[in-house]
Amino acid sequence: MKSKFLLVFFLCFLSLPLSIGNAGEEKFKLDGYKWAEMSRQFKLGFVEGWLRGGVVASVTPVFAALDLFSKEISRLSIEEFEKLKERTMDIVRGCSKEKGLGLFDITYGQIVDTIDKVYTDPRVKTWEIEEIMPLVGGRLKEGWTEKDLDEVISYLIKQKEFSKKWEKWVNYRSMSESERKKFLEEVSSLEEPKVLKALRSYRFE
């Protein structure tokens, strides 16, 4: 039952719409270039919307799973239920951190200033805001240094490059055996920064 509960939880969590815009409309893409053109007031409004979305993303999956498995959960002892609840909330907190949603107890201005700062890096100028917010969370909530941020960005860029290579190979079978071997060696040698490991320290068992 526990595994089913967590599976539903993750499906609900990952399917939540966290994009800007109205339902049914094409997603509004916001990158560093568009962000720079926005007024301070608009940026503050975006941050408020992001934080409100974070609240929804943090509670909706839990309630959905509790409702779906209410009969099974009712058979648990109080101690078992408390353990399951704590476990679930631990995963919620971990997912929120990884997505850059848990930016509570921080002023809107601090978040906007940090987004501005992150977007000054030319390497991430074309990244959409959803990719930037976890970096903002790392700086403001996890205590990342400038060096940590640089390492994370470099790592994520490398990941993107690997993903593109792999997608190209899967779609067109354009990678020779030697290229494939070299590619796999490069992937295996890519070391995740310690701060990212800490951010993803929650477990899925």
109 pLDDT above the threshold of 80: yes
Determine the pLDDT at residue 4: 46
In this prediction, residues 146-150 reach a mean pLDDT of 96
Q: What DSSP letter does each residue of 38-93 carry, written as one string?
A: S-HHHHHHHHHHHHHHHHHHHHHHHHHHHHHTHHHHHTS-HHHHHHHHHHHHHHHH
pLDDT single digits (tens) 51-87:
887 766 665 555 555 565 666 667 778 887 777 777 7
* Inter-residue contact 8 to 65 (CB < 8 Å): yes
pTM of the model: 0.71
Number of helices (H), then strands (E), in the chain: 10, 0
In this prediction, residues 28-56 reach a mean pLDDT of 89
Determine the pLDDT at residue 116: 98
46: nearest Cα among 115, 106, 95, 104: 115
Query: Using alpha carbons only, what angle is made at residue 203 by residues 150 and 54, rounded to the nearest 5 degrees?
Result: 65
Domain residues of the chain, as ranges? 2-143, 145-205
CA pair distance 168, 155, nearest whole angstrom: 20
Task: Give the number of C-alpha atoms closer than 13 A to the C-alpha of residue 143, restricted to the C-beta side.
Answer: 2
Determine the pLDDT at residue 24: 45
* Inter-residue contact 119 to 36 (CB < 8 Å): yes
Which band of pLDDT confidence, cut at 50, 70 and 90, is reported for residue 204? very low
Beta-carbon contacts of residue 150 (< 8 Å; ≥ 6 apart):
none
Determine the pLDDT at residue 70: 66
Average pLDDT, the chain: 78
